[in-house]
Amino acid sequence: MLDQQSLSALLEAVKRLEGGFAKLPAPEGEAPGMARLAEVLNATAERLRDNYPYFHPLYAGQMLKPPHPIARLAYALAMWINPNNHALDGGRATSAMEKEAVAEIAAMFGWKNFLGHLCGGGTMANLEALWVAGQLHSGKKILASEQAHYTHKRISGALHLEFETMPCDERGRMDTDVLAKRVARGDVGTVVATMGTTATGSVDPLPEILTLRERYGFRIHADAAYGGYFVLAENLGADSAAAFLRIGEADSIVIDPHKHGLQPYGCGCVLFRDPGVGRLYKHDSPYTYFSSAELHLGEISLECSRPGAAAAALWATQRLLPLEKGGAFARGLERGRKAAQALFEKVRADSRFVVAFAPELDIVIFVPTAASASEASVLSRRIFEAAAQRDLHLAVAELPIRFWGENLGSMKRDRETLTCLRSVLMKPEHLDWIDRIWEKLSLSTQAVLQS
Ligand SMILES: *Cc1c(COP(=O)(O)O)cnc(C)c1O
């Protein structure tokens, strides 16, 4: 189940890497503690068993999946060097790889002349985007939807930028009627468009937000940490396809290679359409930047030390699976979405469940049928646990009851939110497992309803 075959490729690559340093005299001695290495490594393996099986198709809960083997191996390979992309001195090869890999991501959004780099994750990337936004529109507000990632509010606080929440429509997307009225009142510096919300995968109506920008001149930051790669998918619904078609018109974009880009954690990416924002990063560090005349990505990053290994892993992954429509990577995303649609149809057709809206990307949300919202919420948790006992791992989420609209029928609306079941079907293999996932969900639900 856990790929071991590819380890031989790693051994070969380590030898090849070593060949690059063959003329050096061999250092003496070894790292301390090597005699007990295997023992401690096995103890580590024992500890790591205490995890959900994120690598398995029956894990269909949160946004978690293992990196592609090439990413894992390229990362591990780079660990023999441990480059630091803070500056060229810390990692020449991986600095170049970062530039190439980031340019490929930007090209996916139609950008050639841009500024961007890798960072620790979506939160850091959003922090940087809002930090730039705040400097370009100082004293003005940041707006994001109520379903935007919760860290936008906290980041705005850290940056001393005023933040306002915009309501969502019944499909979890920013309500642009309310937004239109709000921006007309003035004082708005930046609107965050979430291109795939973390909870439901809803895509904010970017075309309408762009129209408002023409009139009111605010910045648009596209938080595509989760959904960004779906710009390559060719099986989206009309609204989400229209939104992704225009994502390149945003002023900044955040995308997380460690979510849908098959990377280990510690790999986010921020991109700016105008390379001129580089001036905002100006500093006069006396020690790190003397080694090149050309811009190094460490100079335009809020973080200093950054793992060169993350760049090596991303570069290798994109070389194996290029970011192109119709390619194996894009087809994988499309399969996840198909899996979500298939599960949605099964749940919708079964009277024991009530679905909210159809998935825009690859996330399905639903509740068990019950007399009241409170009862449905309790049942959701019990089904979550019953499914886990059958090795099917879903997630629970707390979402506004209005996402279920008329579908709730006579269910008593005695709460504002529903604790619902949520399934993120982000692995391409999920599509082959939908029948088995459904069978386990169905059995678990039957067991809960009968008890
Ligand atoms: C996951 C996510 C984030 C936060 O990214 P991290 O990589 O977890 O720091 C921000 N925005 C959206 C839309 C996300 O899905």
pLDDT, tens digit, for every residue of 111-135? 999 999 999 999 999 999 999 999 9
Indicate the Cα dihedral angle 67, 72, 75, 78, nearest 10°: -170
| N residues, the chain | 451
Mean local confidence (pLDDT), 372-382 = 98
Q: What is the dihedral of CA 87, 161, 129, 119, to 10 degrees?
A: 50
pLDDT in tens, 130-160: 999 999 999 999 999 999 999 999 999 999 9
> What residues are paired with 168 via a beta bridge?
174
pLDDT, residue 292, reads 54
Provide the residue type at 67 as one letter: P
287, pLDDT greater than 60: no
Ligand 1 first shell, C-beta below 6 A:
121-123, 126, 149, 151, 194, 198, 223, 225-226, 256, 268
Q: Is 255 helix (H, G, I), strand (E, B) or coil?
A: strand
In CATH, the number for domain 79-320 is 3.40.640.10
What is the model's pTM?
Answer: 0.96
Q: Report which ligand 1 atom has the smallest distance to the Cα of 148.
A: 13
N-term to C-term CA, the chain:
34
Question: What pLDDT, in 10s, does the model give residues 67-110?
Answer: 999 999 999 999 999 999 998 999 999 999 999 999 999 999 99
Give pLDDT, residue 9: 98
Q: Can 79-320 and 328-450 be said to share one CATH topology?
A: no
Residue to mutate (ligand 1; options 119, 124, 151; most atoms within 8 A of CB): 151
Distance CA 9, CA 11 (A): 5
Spatial distance between the Cα atoms of 278 and 231, rounded to a whole number of angstroms:
26
Q: Ligand 1 pocket test: pick from 130, 146, 226 the residue with the most ligand atoms within 8 Å of its Cβ.
A: 226
Task: Point out the ligand 1 atom lying closest to the alpha carbon of residue 256.
Answer: 7
Collapsing DSSP to helix, strand or coil, 210 comes out as helix
SS (H, E, C) 128-150: HHHHHHHHHCCCCEEEEECCCCC
Whose Cα sits closest to atom 5 in ligand 1?
A: 122
What residue segments make up the domains of the chain, in order of their start? 79-320, 328-450
Atom of ligand 1 nearest to the CA of 195: 13
CATH 1.20.1440.230 describes domain 328-450: no
Those residues with Cβ within 8 angstroms of residue 303's Cβ, 6 or more apart along the chain or in another chain = 119, 120, 124
